[in-house]
Amino acid sequence: MRVKFLLSAALVLATGAANAAEPDGLVLPQGFHAQVVAEAVKGMRHMAVTPGGDLYISTRDGLAAIKLDKDHKAGEPQFFTKEAGNGTGIRLYNGALYASSVAAVYRVKLDKNLVPSAAPEKVLDGMPTTGFSNRAIAFDNAGNLYVGVGGSGNTCFAPDTPKGQKPVGLNPCPGIQGRGGIWKFKAGKLNQKFPGDGVAVATGLRDLDAMDWSASNGLYAVMHDRNGTANQFSDIVSKEEGEQISDELDKIDTKGVTHMGWPFTYWDGKRNIRLMAPEYGGNNKTQPPAGLYVTPVAAFYPSHSPLDLVFYNGRRFPAKYRGGAFIVMHGGNAGHAVPGGYDVKFVPFANGKAGAAETFADGFAGTDAAARNPEKAAYRPVGGAVGPDGSLYIADSKKGRIWRIYYDGK
């Protein structure tokens, strides 16, 4: 399978022209428009939209509920359930709101009130509180809850490596023992313990913010791969080659155990090949034995920071978008401008097969290329959700703005 590696934010839909008068200078395909629906919602990460059109938002300080009026304008956010903080992982399932903290997954049963009166119930507990703290969640069509738990750190070196000596990778790697993977649990069962009450469906996961279930194709996840390889192994990996180490959109085999490759390998998005990591004997040319690790369905430039994955299950967008995946790119923390990120990508799916990734929404950071920088960007997309009317909601982490992107064909 060939994977398109996105190096530039200049990739736009070939059939669409940018809309000139969208709020905040957003650039969208022809026929799409944006509307600002909320402002100054602090600490936003991920979102869920009810069938009635209300928004629930996962923040660093807990959950927030927002009522939208008939014109899609938001009322004041109401905060609740602080124990479900950390801001990663929020979904609606069977009339309840599920949200994750670092250590646990909670369920809050919804009622007629915007802020539900029911106390949060603990569905899962015991996830590690060290290492990467993101806990993405998703649900399938058979009553299962999937939880992603990142690895212990950027790499898996021996901690006692003498200073000045090239690090050697640990094998087995403790960073993926009892973590660094995706587990399946029962969605309706309370007080489950991690990991013993679950079934592992993926391993070799460095870090994960973005995971979703495709109704027709199954479970997908976007892995954040390693950083700093060119600095650590400058005699093996050049700076340019280090920038080819991609974040991956991977399909997860939920009936087996998908190995996503970390820390033993990485995906080179320019050459479209998986390579052995230098600390495991790689020389930026050596490929692992075939069949051991997943092949991505799409690859993204490092420092784009994919923070959410949303499969489009609405009917209002044109047919090419239905069943496809939107990936929300937060933009990197490199401290300097990067050629991409700060946008929303789209990966079309047809008959279960992914097509080439393309830019769907851009302009969040600003029009100047130098604005693609954490300090200078006007806005940084962080989360997405599909509304009951088929519109796409996108949240911003910098100023707490939420946009509704809709299609009218004009």
Reference 60, options 117, 119, 133, 114; nearest CA is 133
**pLDDT (0 to 100) of residue 409:** 87
**pLDDT (0 to 100) of residue 334:** 64
Q: Render pLDDT for 292-328 as a digit per residue (tens, 0 to 9).
A: 999 999 999 887 899 999 999 999 999 999 999 999 9
Q: Render pLDDT for 275-288 as a digit per residue (tens, 0 to 9).
A: 999 999 999 999 99
Q: Which helix (H) or strand (E) is 247 found in, with range?
A: strand 247-252
Question: Does the structure show a pLDDT above 70 at 329?
Answer: yes
Q: Render pLDDT for 148-200 as a digit per residue (tens, 0 to 9).
A: 999 999 999 988 888 878 899 999 999 999 999 999 999 999 999 999 999 99
> String of b and e for 302-321 (b: at least 16 CB within 10 Å)?
bbbbbbbbbbbeeebbeeeb
Per DSSP (E only), the strands in 76-135 are: 78-80, 90-93, 96-100, 105-109, 121-125
Task: Report the CATH number that the domain containing residue 379 is assigned in CATH.
Answer: 2.120.10.30
Question: Does the structure show a pLDDT above 80 at 38?
Answer: yes
82 SS3 class = helix
Report the 10 Å Cβ neighbour count for 409: 8
Mean of the per-residue pLDDT values of the chain? 92
Structural domains counted in the chain: 1
Q: How far apart are CA 138 and CA 90, in angstroms?
A: 8
Domain holding 194, by residue range, is: 5-407
pLDDT-derived band at 13 (thresholds 50, 70, 90) equals very low
**pLDDT (0 to 100) of residue 337:** 63
Report the 10 Å Cβ neighbour count for 126: 14
Contact 359, 9 (CB under 8 A): yes
Q: How far apart are CA 140 and CA 216, in angstroms?
A: 10
Q: How far apart are CA 128 and CA 363, in angstroms?
A: 37
Reference 32, options 46, 16, 48; nearest CA is 16
